[in-house]
Amino acid sequence: MVSEALRGRARLKSIVGGSTGNLVEWYDWYVYSAFTLYFAPAFFPSDDPTAQLLSAAAVFAVGFIVRPLGAWIMGVYADRHGRKAGLTLSVTLMCVGSLAIALSPTYAQAGAGAPLILLLARLLQGLSVGGEYGASATYLSEMAGQRRRGFFSSFQYVTLISGQLLALCVLLLLQAVLPAPDLEAWGWRIPFAIGGLLAVVVFYIRRGLAETESFTNVKATASMGSGGWILFRHYPRQAFLVIALTAGGTLAFYAYSTYMQKFLVNTSGFSREAATEITAAALFVFMLLQPVAGWLSDKVGRRPLLIGFGTAGALLTYPIFRTLETASSSFTAFLLALGALVIVTGYTSINAVVKAELFPAHIRALGVALPYALANAIFGGTAEYVALWFKSIGVERGFYWYVTALIAISLLVYLRMPETRRTSEIAED
């Protein structure tokens, strides 16, 4: 029986295999942000560092804008052809995008064509990640047993953070072995080339994954209706719930993680190397917290963790950023950055399983992916751009209040939403 075959080691092997691919996907996605400080001058020449970062952040945001399209296309694909097929397609697109950036000419070599190539490559990566989140979140949630679904699905963010951390570790290594001028001239290409090659390996790993029992069962009953129209026509409450509960969480995550590195350099005054070390150390501890919080959600439910994040985030975001403005000690900056990440753990550790538990199997991948991608495009992908815009007009602290307000709005949703651990649509154990 399929259900027996997926017990024990076989189930764990599938979860590890799916997670490993997710790690590489997110490494490829985050390496752009990690190396922005070095490659921005190559594509956007300017005498103003903030203007360069603003241009690079705009391309970063555009990658998020196409994520809903990728979520739509590949969410439907994963619902109709299988979670494994969706995961394989997403890593193929990511591979092409990463290699394109690694081989892209600079502005000095190709003029306006250089940022255009960067933009097109980032669009491919956006399509990939748009589908990756839904497919991987659905795959891990369906593979996990009922009693440990929160724990195992938390590895979706463990590997997401691991990808971000790996990108920062590659940056630290290159900072140690290459002079800054070499990093700015050509060294920034290395991490994108690494990502493209790793994606090739993941492609073959994912081809060997087992399909989930949930998809196998729904395929056998021919109940395969999936599409954007079906989603918002038949499951509007669930779809808009995902958008609402994601808004504050995704904005907080990107403000506390990817933007934090730039904030420490551009506002706090740390060197690029010190900011990278501080961010990497905080993210490492943050990564270790995800399974703990996921396990806790299996015991006490999902809502208490979400409510905890919403309450602490609304109360402490402004004080944390305000204190970081004048932080002169690396250890103090680390503690503050880690404190912010501990807060958002209440969202990141369980957001995948919460969304998966809201939808029936025939539309689960799309239901998880598309509303999430929409919220990410509006709030997550624009986080750095909005933060830098506030800074450029001399009202940097407006960003702190913006993050606080969105978290507070999501908190209202957490207080009213059902406890998905008890009402889960994932029937299989």
Return the minimum-mean-pLDDT range out of 1-5, 168-172, 190-194, 235-239. Answer: 1-5
Asked if residue 180 belongs to a domain, the reply is yes
Residue-level pLDDT at 107 = 81
CATH code, domain with 128: 1.20.1250.20
- Buried/exposed code over 143-181 (b: 16+ C-beta within 10 A; e: otherwise): bbeeeebbbbbbbbbbbbbbbbbbbbbbbeebbeebeee
Q: What is the 3-state secondary structure (H, E, C) of 35-60?
A: CHHHHHHHHCCCCCHHHHHHHHHHHH
* 428 in any annotated domain: no
Note the pTM of the prediction, 2 decimals.
0.81
Rg of the chain over Cα atoms, rounded to whole angstroms, equals 20
Q: What percent of the chain has pLDDT over 90?
A: 34
Average pLDDT over residues 25-53: 77
* Average pLDDT score over residue span 41-46: 76
Place of tokens 């961010």: 279
Cα–Cα distance, 322 to 43 (Å, whole number)? 32
Q: Which domain range does residue 182 map to?
A: 2-423
Nearest-5° Cα angle at 83, 371 to 20: 95
pLDDT of residue 6: 46
Is 105 part of a structural domain of the chain?
yes
Q: What is the mean pLDDT of the chain?
A: 85
Domain count for the chain: 1
Report how far residue 161's alpha carbon sits from residue 350's, in angstroms, rounded to the nearest whole number: 14
- End-to-end, the C-alpha distance of the chain in Å comes to 13
